[in-house]
Every structure is written in C-alpha cells, then in structure tokens.
Amino acid sequence: MTDHGGVDLSLIDPIFEQYREQPGKLIPILQKTQATYGWLPGEALELIADRLDTALSKVYGVATFYSQFYLEPRGKHELYLCDGTACHVKGTSRLAKAVRDEFGISPGDTTSDGELTLELVYCMGSCALAPVAVLDGEVMGRMEPGKLTRRIKKRLATAKETETAA
C-alpha cells in the first residue's frame, strides 16, 4: 500500500473510543474512518488491524467487499447517478454521457483535478422521480443532461469561491 502523503492517523483515536464496547465494530469503524478522510488510506487499515488485533487481510477483505468503501482518494464533490430500473428506463445513460462529455469521467472515475467523482448506483428508492442524481447528498429528481451539468458546474464554482474567500 502506497503512501498518499500526510495522513494524520491520530484522527482515528476517537473512533476507536466511540466503538470500544460495540460488538461487530469493524464496519462502523471503517465507515467513520472513511467519513474522516474521504477514503480509506492503507496506513489507516494497518492501524485498524493492529488495534483490533486482527489480520490486515481480514480488514482488507471487508473493505473491498462492500461497494461503499474506497481505497483511493475521492473527488471533493461526489455525484451519484441512479441506475435502478425506473431511472435506467428514463435515461440514466444520457446523464452519464453528459457528465462524460463535460467532465471527462466515466462511472468510478475522479476528475484529474480531484474535484468530482462519478458513481453509478442501483436504486436510491425515489423511482417516481426518475432519473435521479445525487450531488453531495442533495437528491435531484427528474434530471436532464443539460440541467445536471449546469448544476454541477454551479456547485463546483460556488465551492471554489467560498474556499477562496476563506
């Protein structure tokens, strides 16, 4: 596992503390760790294995089994496109194509500037509003290709402005 630089492992301490008593704590610890770093750095997995007194292979096995865990850094902004039955029928592929044309990324990819990650998921449970896109946790129903790329561009620009101002 390569060093991705500057991982502050002390941030995991409070997570261990929180789940100390809980049985079956590996998955919640991984979830919290990912929420802290945005992904699961190799050093963090090693530390977790060490602290839980379990094999690194077991931690790695769990981390790679579930689709929600990421072993690579993610973009600052995350876009999920729903490809459940209803959305699939109502044109998720057109939304994916619009994102690819505009930002050059396919599902699973992150833009080279580390700004945006695109993921395709099965069903967000909002089928009557198909097709559904979720940008940074905000659910957007009845999406259209042009509307989607405009919303993304606006989100990226606003975030950058806030950053510069700060």
Q: Is 71 in the site for other proteins (CB under 8 A)?
A: no
The answer to whether the CB of 77 falls within 8 A of the CB of 136 is yes
| CB of 113 vs other proteins, minimal distance in Å | 25
Please report whether residue 61 would count as binding other proteins according to CB under 8 A.
Answer: yes
> Is residue 84 a contact point for other proteins (CB under 8 A)?
yes
Sign of CA dihedral 61, 63, 65, 70: negative
Among 43, 71, 88, 107, binds other proteins (CB under 8 A): 88
Report whether 81 contacts 95 (CB < 8 A): yes
**57 contributes a contact to other proteins by CB under 8 A:** no
DSSP state of 129: G
What is the bridge-based pairing of β-strands 133-135 and 116-121?
unpaired
| Chain-centroid distance, C-alpha 41 | 14
Report the distance separating Cα 53 and Cα 49, nearest Å. Answer: 6
Distance CA 143, CA 132 (A): 6
Query: 35 or 113: whose CB is closer to other proteins?
Result: 35
Interface map 11-50 toward other proteins (x if CB under 8 A): -----------xxxxxxx-xx-------------------
Site for other proteins in 116-155 (CB under 8 A): 121-129, 132, 137, 139-142
122/136 Cα distance (integer angstroms) = 17
Q: Which is nearer to other proteins, 114 or 122 (CB)?
A: 122
What residues line the site for other proteins (CB under 8 A)?
22-28, 30-31, 61-62, 65-69, 83-86, 88-89, 94, 121-129, 132, 137, 139-142
